[in-house]
Amino acid sequence: MNDVPVILVADDETAQRQLLVDALTHAGLKTLACKNGLETLDHLEKCDLLLLDVRMPEMSGLEVLKEASARRPELPVILLTAYIDIRDAVEAMKMGARDYLEKPVDIDELITVVEETLGIHAGLPDRLELPGDIIAESPVMHEVFLQAHRVAQTDTTVLLLGESGVGKEVVASYIHGASTRAGRPWTVVDCSALPENLVESELFGHEKGAFTGADKTRIGRFQQADGGTLFLDEIGELPLPLQPKLLRVLESGAFQPVGSGKEAQVDVRLIAATNRDLEKEVEAGTFREDLYYRLNVFPIVIPPLRERHEDIPALAAMILKQYRKMLTPAAERLLMAYEWPGNTRELRNVLERASILTEGMRILPEALPPALRNAVDRRPANSGVLVGNMAEIERQAIMEALEKTEGNKTRAAELLGISRRNLIYKLRVYEKGTMSGQSL
């Protein structure tokens, strides 16, 4: 093996191939990239591991695997497969593939599987140094920013998923600030706040006289963001007739302003966000399937606040700092026990109200909304935040499942009733020693 392992990435989709190359390169690994099976076979002798897409034209991944196994039986191969191709992945495992990953590929899982397969550690950071206005005390939220940090080093399109109020714009802003585009335009558009008849003009601009009221030429948000990053929040609200134009600018950087016969060209990195289930929107015919796949190159799921209670004290302290207030222990316990359906946005509103009602520095439980106090009081005795020993029970269950399956993570995840991706994440957290008696 070379001093620095070489990963051969074989995928016919240009955006996916580049995403994988960027992620592996950022992890300190060397890469080669191929767009078809024949080209892949020509480069077999140059790599230490083959990352192989199952579905490729002319020569499928399974055909490549069969030939690669004959030529270099010692070469580890990891399959990339869509959910519908799982049967192919199982067949590939029988043919000698070491592992398989489902598309869209989770970058953290990819790096973990590559490290395990090669028996190395690719030098990924265990802990990020985050800006002071970003709170990520919980393991799950820190993992979100690890993903954001990795994708920030590329120009890959990012899709942020999560409930309303979880902080999608905060993550998007972090990606821009950690990228090579930092210092260039950072443009934010809330698609849900735009009148449907003005969305196209807002995004792409218009010429004078293009429509009633267009008394002067105006450049759109894409041109404003040229060279930088455009954040389209609530992308699920984008009108269906406008979606082909967005798809085109994502693929080529080209578009026409409203009322113009000339084509404009921009260099923009797009980050989109939504609280909708876009897969269901595609099934319902309200969101284009091709646009969804173009946006979903690198999805990041931001967990709701109820799944990251460890962040609440630090978030509350940061919010209250501007009001020169602080929580009493009793008030903090109420915040920790509440489910926060409105997430961090609701937390901010609650604390702003409490600050107004509090004359001194210390916020008492009485200053919190009655609805919050009543909701906590109505909770069953066994419904609180998981206590410390639950984390150990969870850990033991995972270790037993791995023992039963002789270390096979895919089968262990099936036994536990969780996703393989979730299992790998939990194992990484155990290795880093961040459990500290708290449940994930």
Query: DSSP secondary structure string, 169-235?
Result: HHHHHHHHHTSTTTTS-EEEEEGGGS-GGGHHHHHH-B-TTSSTT--S-B--HHHHTTTSEEEEETG
The average confidence (pLDDT) of the chain is: 85
Contact between 424 and 114 (Cβ < 8 Å): no
Q: Is the pLDDT confidence value at 436 over 80? A: no
| Tens digit of each residue's pLDDT (9 = 90 or more) over 295-347 | 988 899 999 999 999 999 999 999 999 999 999 998 999 999 899 999 999 99
Q: What is the pLDDT of residue 47?
A: 94
CA dist 201 and 218 (Å) reads: 8
Helix orientation angle between 312-321 and 343-357, rounded to the nearest 10 degrees = 50
> What is the value of pTM for the model shown?
0.68
Beta bridge partners of 270: 230
Nearest to 354 by CA among 384, 378, 324, 313: 324
Identify the three-state secondary structure at position 164: coil
Domains of the chain: 6-118 (3.40.50.2300), 139-301 (3.40.50.300), 306-377 (1.10.8.60), 388-432 (1.10.10.60)
Listed range (120-124, 234-238, 412-416) with the worst mean pLDDT: 120-124
pLDDT over 80 at 397, yes or no: no
> Which region among 204-213, 353-362, 365-374 has the lowest average model confidence (pLDDT)?
204-213
d(CA 296, CA 294): 6
Handedness of CA 375, 376, 379, 385 (dihedral sign): positive
Does residue 270 carry a pLDDT above 70?
Answer: yes
- pLDDT at 23 (0 to 100): 86
Q: Which residue has the higher pLDDT, 229 or 197?
A: 229
Q: State residue 419's pLDDT score.
A: 67
Question: Is residue 390 scored above 50 in pLDDT?
Answer: no
> Can you give the pLDDT at residue 409?
80
Question: What is the distance between the alpha carbons of residues 49 and 69, in angstroms, rounded to a whole number?
Answer: 12
Please tell me the predicted confidence (pLDDT) of residue 416.
75
